[in-house]
């Protein structure tokens, strides 16, 4: 196993969602604590970290509980940024590597930063025969979504290689399925992409999506 790559003072964006590697996330940014951070990341090409909330809300409110979040998250790189109006940015981000927080710090103006270790990428494991129905069902769903809104930048047509990759298929299903945030987080944290897809396959069978 290679030594983990460490990032210092990574800015964090706690959200009520889970970002998966190679997944897309659209954001509207208007809080002062994030506007400057997003602008700097976009200018330098640097990532920020997306972590899922366990307490608190995405937007700070007077008297609300302070944000608490999971220690495993995903690096996000900004692929598109638009300033819709002063004080409002819309951006499209893509998930890259997973990371684990080793130390976090809440700055005076409200931004969280953390020292993190990047986690190993998923191994490329071919989809086994008994799970190919999950890949086929995903292909149908993604083609349907693309046909409905081909201009949506998050609408993708999968390649044959992606559909034969356990981690990629599992991650896309995790984004699509209406399962609790905590379950999505646990699935994202799993080191074995085959186990992740097996668990997703169980959900698909129980819901009748891929029988």
Q: Within a domain: residue 123? A: no
Q: Within a domain: residue 124? A: no
> Could you tell me the sign of the dihedral formed by the alpha carbons of 19, 20, 21, 22, in that order?
negative
Angstrom distance (rounded) from CA 91 to CA 79: 7
The angle at the Cα of 126, spanning 121 to 127, to the nearest 5 degrees, equals: 110
Q: Would you state the pLDDT for residue 151?
A: 61
Q: What is the mean pLDDT of residues 85-113?
A: 93
pLDDT at 23 over 60: yes
Look at residues 84, 118, 152 and tell me which one is the last residue of a structural domain: 118
> 109 and 13, same structural domain?
yes
> 102 and 14, same structural domain?
yes
pTM to 2 decimal places: 0.90
Look at residues 118, 153, 177 and tell me which one is the last residue of a structural domain: 118
State the total domains in the chain.
2
Going by C-alpha positions, the residue among 20, 9, 15 that lies closest to residue 197 is 20
Q: 104 falls in which pLDDT band (50, 70, 90)?
A: very high
Q: Would you state the pLDDT for residue 91?
A: 93
How much of the chain is helix, strand and coil, in % rounded to 5?
35, 30, 35
> 89 and 11, same structural domain?
yes
The angle at the Cα of 149, spanning 58 to 84, to the nearest 5 degrees, equals: 45
> 113 and 17, same structural domain?
yes
Q: What is the extent of the structural domain holding 180?
A: 129-207
Of 42-46, 47-51, 97-101, the one with minimum mean pLDDT is 42-46
Of 12-16, 61-65, 166-170, the one with minimum mean pLDDT is 61-65
Report the largest interatomic distance among the alpha carbons of the chain, rounded to a whole angstrom: 53
> 161 and 89, same structural domain?
no
Phi, psi of 170, deg, nearest 5: -65, -45
Q: Would you state the pLDDT for residue 2?
A: 47
> 140 and 100, same structural domain?
no
Give me the CATH number covering residue 39. Answer: 2.30.130.40
The one-character DSSP state at 199 is: H
Q: Would you state the pLDDT for residue 64?
A: 72
Of 18-27, 63-72, 130-139, 183-192, the one with minimum mean pLDDT is 63-72
pLDDT at 150 over 80: no
């Amino acid at each position: 196993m290679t030594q983990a790559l460490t990032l210092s003072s990574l800015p964090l964006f706690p959200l009520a969602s889970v970002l998966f590697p190679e997944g897309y996330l659209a954001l509207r940014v208007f809080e002062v604590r994030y506007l400057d951070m997003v602008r700097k990341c976009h200018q330098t090409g640097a990532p920020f970290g997306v972590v899922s909330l366990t307490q608190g809300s995405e937007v700070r409110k007077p008297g609300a509980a302070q944000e608490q979040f999971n220690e495993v998250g995903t690096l996000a790189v900004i692929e598109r940024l638009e300033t819709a109006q002063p004080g409002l940015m819309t951006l499209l981000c893509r998930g890259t590597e997973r990371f684990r927080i080793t130390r976090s710090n809440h700055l005076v103006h409200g931004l969280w930063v953390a020292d993190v270790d990047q986690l190993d990428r998923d191994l490329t494991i071919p989809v086994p025969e008994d799970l190919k129905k999950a890949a086929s069902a995903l292909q149908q769903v993604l083609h349907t979504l693309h046909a409905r809104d081909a201009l949506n930048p998050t609408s993708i047509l999968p390649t044959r290689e992606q559909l034969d990759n356990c981690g990629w298929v599992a991650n896309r299903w995790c984004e699509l399925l209406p399962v609790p945030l905590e379950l999505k987080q646990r699935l994202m944290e799993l080191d074995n992409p085959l186990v992740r897809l097996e668990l997703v396959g169980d959900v698909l069978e129980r819901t009748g999506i891929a029988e």
